[in-house]
Structure 1
Amino acid sequence: MNDKTLLFAPGGVNASTNLAQTDPKSMPKRRQPRHPGIKDTIKGKRNQYVQVRNSDERPVITAPLKKHTLKVIALGGFGEYGKNIIAYEYEDDIIVVDCGIMFPEEEMLGIDFVIPDTRYLEENAHKIKGWLFTHGHEDHIGATPYIIPKKFPDVQMFASQLTAGLIKVKYEEFNHRPPKISVVEGGEKIKLGVFEIEFVQMAHSIPDTLALAIRTPEGMILHVTDWKIDHTPIFGQKTNLAHLARLGQEGVKMLLSDSSNAERSGYTISESIIIKTFDNIFKDGRGRLIITMFASAINRIQQIIEMSIKYRRKIAVSGFSMQKNIEMALKLGYLKSPEGLFIDIHKAQGLSDEKITILATGSQGEEFSALSRMASGEHKQIRIRQNDTVVISASQIPGNEQAISNTINGLFKQGANVIYGRHLDIHASGHASREELKLLIQITNPEYFMPIHGEYRHLKIHARLAEELGIKPHNTFVVDNGEIIEFEKGIGQVIKTKVQSGYVLVDGLGVGDVGNIVLRDRQALAKEGMFVVILTIDKKTGKIITSPDIISRGFIYMRDQEELVHLARKEVVGLFIKHNQRYPMQFDHIKRVVRDKLGDFLFHKTQRRPMIIPVIIEV
């Protein structure tokens, strides 16, 4: 094993420290309630319709792919926030970049996460020379434990040290054997098949973020993931503009760049700016300080450590993912904390309020997260009190607004003072704003441009920005998931051929076993309820023995609707007698008739159509 390879194993370089432990059972999976709207397919971002992994109609490649061309394959993260994954293919060589999750959309009832559809990669697994990760945020590494150990167990992975550590934590959560990851850093080069990859140090809201300069037979592709320009970063990790400029002088065939803040003018504020805000919050805090952020926000956690030391507060952690990430970051030296600063969450109750800081998960209002349980009064260790100050130090991910609002309202009802939103500098975006995006385009001077990471409008606005700076309109590619940009003899174009790129839904322990039919049933139950009709039939005569039993859930309250229930029973008996005479003892046919005709009857009476479940019992 070379000295740049980390083999994660118990007691190895990344073994956990003795930071106060939190029971993993206190952090169940997210089960966020969602609103109706699903039909035969799931309505995706910007009103597109996307396929579900186990849909009855499986999307297929519409034409064979050419040999001797470079293909940039958009597998996820286009027109949406999350599940970022892109593949680069040349003849028999493929490299893959990132493997992220996405929060479920409103229509996806009961779904925990959405992960990319990797069927194209599975069918071409023998070509994959390496899987590279740009940084450690969930939308870039979150799907790894669901996909790589099962589908690509032998693939070679490459990541910076912190990103590798965060992937290792995720593998531990799933009880996978430790992953073997080659650790890389800015300025380093590796060779994977025909591809040569040079890593570039970038500033972001998490340390160890890397851009990729991918040299191919068709020219250099510069893949710049989430990034910003920060001249005063917490960890001293700046975007290496000189390195990017050198690559621009060498010649960039196509630039891929983060579009998240393409609508925001000016420059993104430095992470160091918000430390002044936190200083004021700590100075003015009269009670407990409860601070929530993304569990991987290592920069922000270091600020909280420094403020807690300054104002003589101990730190307790509530939330399994944050607990494990902090342990890993302390072990690797990305967090620095004196011995005894962190205490067990149970011991927090024994300290006076002004002596405790609580770090909690739940910045996106996730159901069952630590903060959500505090807001609802269901947290076992922490009860919100009048003098508590809660700080939500994270931006809202689109689609989570209502969940976050519910959490904030619950905290106010419990008596807390809640600090959130953009009215104070309590969160610094990790994404470049328009002036930074312009600078990157100018210093790299690409021939082609492909905006990545964002909803459709962000991609489109970013493309227009590139065109304003001189890139030809036909050389800017705003693509959708599944589309392919092909380069042949130096000329790039979006081709008609597409690959599979749907959603794979994670529901509890099930991955990909919930499809559009199941979601449609959940939608019907959530919207209209169900109406169960139980018929007891004499096995010998085929006649009804007793009046049908009816069970209603989420449709009507039966005690208040006795007349409707009586009429429904009468309707069912009539349907059974009529069709049993024509099709004696053919109960499958009779159940279909009851389902359809009773549905029409109930809709006529109530203007609602519940899910009808006919049950026939023979005795």
Structure 2
Amino acid sequence: MTNSATLRVLPLGGLGEIGKNMTAVEYDGKIVVIDAGVRFPTAEQVGIDLVLPDFSVLKDRADDIEAIVITHGHEDHLGGLPYVIKQLGGARKAPKIYGLPLTMAMGRSKLDEHRLREAELTDVKPGQTVKTGLFELEFIHATHSIPDACNVAVKTPLGTLLFTGDYKFDQTPVDGGPADFLRLARFGEEGLLMLLGDSTNVDRPGWSPSEALVGPELLRVFGGLRGRIIVTSFASNLHRVQQVIDAAIELNRKVCLLGRSMRKNVNIAKSLGHLDVPDGLIVQPRELEHLPDHRVIVMSTGSQGEPLSALRRMAFRDHPQVRIRPGDTVVFSATPIPGNERAVNETIDKLYQAGAEVVTHKDAPIHASGHGYQEEMKLMLNLTRPKYVVPLHGDFHRLELHKRLAVKLGIPADNVFCAENGLPIEVDAKGARFGKPVPSGVMYVDGTDIGATADAALRDRRSLSADGLFVVVATIGDDDGKSVAEPELLFRGVPFEHDEAFLKAVRDQVDASVERAAADEIHDLDEIQRILHDDIAQLTWEKLKRRPVVLPVVVAV
């Protein structure tokens, strides 16, 4: 950016989707990054571990980044931090990272796993202001489904931007005080340039229920059960963990934590005083078999049907320590994130098949969202009275609903920017407008690799998972290119390996393809393999309406 009087806001993730939140604010060539989230892969993204925002636009500008700010400890805001640090040159070159103590503790744990311990993570307190280069950062206490959540104000010479992060206006929070209404109102009095707000629950009228209402309902549901209770929730929903612990104490049950992220987050929260866990309450999985069923509550990850989560493995009878059996009740103290409904429903069905009963939010009010409903979003807009509004954190439908809500409250429609990832909003003394788009999209974490996995690779993985692998070996003469041996057929995970009529048709097709290549004087082995691939794939589709991965191998002797 060359014009020092221009402010540029560049969303890199979280628009047109739920997850992988990340936004860059640039002024006079210097940058502050707000959040570094991830999204979990869909069922079609076979073999992918995590989905990251495409932040390649920042990769060559690490020296221009003054700070990275994390609004709270959920994966869709924090989970990408280690990968961002790696891509920006490693821990020693990383910019300063700011957040409230629990958020930073979770960040340090993630960076430790990636051996990035030298990165500088700084704890801040609600109400604290930090000056970094041309920017001032102010942290405002917010209520959410995890402690130490905050709104973040980014003050620039051109005006103040307020990132709400994830928030709700819970009047009776189970941890700490309510949101800092007074400070939010002062932004309105001082003149707020731009509000960048959470759009998650804009489609829900009214006010979100308080987290304080969930605990009594959990106790009521648990009190009517005599078998083992398995509760699943987000591993980072520490308020819910505390309510389960409180219910266990009341009912004289022990608590077992399943899932690495659940155990790690509980340990961090205990060390910082965010969880009150009596000595002797937590038991190890190996101890469960020695306790009567009516003395057990298992707290598990997997509320979103994640493929490798503890609950998913239990549902598919693949967990090494806990096996679902008749008499168990699984309590889903969470709602599916949009896009996860299929995986959650499949998990629930498998739990029933294993003999368990299942209780969800449809059966009892055992979950409260951490995101405000329409009335809370109206309150945020009315308190802060921004000149410009940028809806964040939502699919395009929710972004548009957020815009309509702002317009109803008196914000001019031209001052509400429904952007998309990679489309910047530029503000100067003349006003605000969309800037020139930059490359955007996603990067994948596939094992230890980070990058844009080719569409062809994902296509092959989907085919392998659905229809298997079909290897065809053709042996041809080095001099004339004609078949000198019967084709070999090898299979893995295919549903037709005993269909003799089809296998004969494949062998005949291999001979015919090789003979055609020889007649056309094609001697390049790669080209012959391409011909075989196309012919066998077409034959398989015509005969069986299936698309296995066809791997042709041509051997010249």
Structure 2 length as normaliser, TM-score? 0.95
Match of 1:586 among 504, 516, 524: 524
Contact 2:38–2:77 (Cα < 8 Å) also in 1: yes
Give 1:460 shift.
0.3
The amino acid that maps onto 2:54 is D
Q: Which runs of 5+ in 1 are unaligned?
A: 1-63
State how far apart, in whole Å, the 2-side matches of 1:550 and 1:585 are. 22
Contact 2:467–2:495 (Cα < 8 Å) also in 1: no
Give 1:565 shift.
2.6
**Which residue in 1 is equivalent to 2:350?**
410
Distance 1:438 1:531, change over 3 A: same
Alignment partner of 2:386: what SS?
A: coil
Aligned residue runs from structure 1 range 112-261, under 5 A: 112-152=49-89, 153=91, 154-177=94-117, 179-261=119-201
State how far apart, in whole Å, the 1-side matches of 2:495 and 2:322 are. 39
Distance 1:541 1:110, change over 3 A: same
C-alpha distance after superposition, 1:371-421 (max 9, x if no partner): 112212222222223332221111101221121112112222222221113
Aligned residue runs from structure 1 range 247-326, under 5 A: 247-326=187-266
Give 1:541 shift.
5.4
Q: Aligned pair 1:612/2:550, yes or no?
A: yes
State how far apart, in whole Å, the 2-side matches of 1:193 and 1:490 are. 25
The amino acid that maps onto 2:451 is G
Contact 2:29–2:64 (Cα < 8 Å) also in 1: yes
**Which residue in 2 is equivalent to 1:9?**
none
Q: Aligned pair 1:392/2:329, yes or no?
A: no
Alignment partner of 1:449: what SS?
A: strand
**Which residue in 2 is equivalent to 1:52?**
none
State how far apart, in whole Å, the 2-side matches of 1:287 and 1:564 are. 52
Give 1:590 shift.
2.0
Q: Aligned pair 1:565/2:467, yes or no?
A: no
Contact 1:580–1:590 (Cα < 8 Å) also in 2: no
Contact 2:259–2:309 (Cα < 8 Å) also in 1: yes
Alignment partner of 1:447: what SS?
A: strand
The amino acid that maps onto 1:580 is A
Give 1:601 shift.
4.1
The amino acid that maps onto 2:59 is E
Q: Aligned pair 1:83/2:20, yes or no?
A: yes
**Which residue in 1 is equivalent to 2:448?**
509
Distance 1:615 1:315, change over 3 A: same
Distance 1:568 1:308, change over 3 A: closer
The amino acid that maps onto 2:428 is E
The amino acid that maps onto 2:26 is E
**Which residue in 2 is equivalent to 1:522?**
461
Q: How many residues align?
A: 554
State how far apart, in whole Å, the 1-side matches of 2:165 and 2:63 are. 26
Alignment partner of 1:616: what SS?
A: strand
Give 1:145 shift.
1.9
Distance 1:179 1:327, change over 3 A: farther
Distance 1:347 1:178, change over 3 A: farther
Give 1:112 shift.
1.9
The amino acid that maps onto 2:514 is F
State how far apart, in whole Å, the 1-side matches of 2:329 and 2:200 are. 30
**Which residue in 1 is equivalent to 2:439?**
500
Aligned residue runs from structure 1 range 404-483, under 5 A: 404-483=344-423
State how far apart, in whole Å, the 1-side matches of 2:323 and 2:531 are. 54
Distance 1:600 1:386, change over 3 A: closer
Contact 1:505–1:515 (Cα < 8 Å) also in 2: no
C-alpha distance after superposition, 1:481-529 (max 9, x if no partner): 000000011511112x112221111222222262222112223444554
Structure 1 length as normaliser, TM-score? 0.86
**Which residue in 1 is equivalent to 2:40?**
103
The amino acid that maps onto 2:264 is K
Contact 1:393–1:426 (Cα < 8 Å) also in 2: yes
C-alpha distance after superposition, 1:245-280 (max 9, x if no partner): 011100011111111000100000100011110121
C-alpha distance after superposition, 1:212-247 (max 9, x if no partner): 111112211111111001111001231111110011
Match of 1:328 among 237, 243, 268: 268
State how far apart, in whole Å, the 2-side matches of 1:319 and 1:527 are. 28
Contact 1:580–1:586 (Cα < 8 Å) also in 2: no
State how far apart, in whole Å, the 2-side matches of 1:381 and 1:608 are. 38
Match of 2:7 among 66, 70, 84: 70
Q: Aligned pair 1:549/2:488, yes or no?
A: yes
Farther-moved stretch of structure 1 (266-275 vs 409-418):
409-418
**Which residue in 2 is equivalent to 1:27?**
none
**Identity of matched residues, %:** 40
State how far apart, in whole Å, the 1-side matches of 2:179 and 2:336 are. 25
State how far apart, in whole Å, the 1-side matches of 2:273 and 2:24 are. 32
The amino acid that maps onto 1:98 is D
Distance 1:586 1:94, change over 3 A: same
C-alpha distance after superposition, 1:10-31 (max 9, x if no partner): xxxxxxxxxxxxxxxxxxxxxx
Give 1:470 shift.
0.5
